[in-house]
Structure 1
């Protein structure tokens, strides 16, 4: 992704607004999904009966 970003920015005189917008949108979506998954895993790990919580929340993960 870094080399692709370099090619878009340095090879052309201007990056495509559509490319930049889609890349930023995907970055935000992926990071928010990872944050939601991490939150559920953290709740399960801190629970007293983590096995039961895991079975109850397996569909959310």
Structure 2
């Protein structure tokens, strides 16, 4: 998954204004105690981060 697609999905799910705030501030144990931004910076694949976000935040199946 390209980062542009990842951020598009984040915007669609959480809203343009909140997606970045969530990604910057929400520490997720599923990402090793990192935020989305930190996980991506530490080399996590965007597709894997998206999967984690979907499970942790109960994203509807049709949005995954």
- TM-score computed with the length of structure 1 as normaliser: 0.28
- TM-score computed with the length of structure 2 as normaliser: 0.27
Larger RCO, structure (CA 8 Å, separation 6 or more): 2
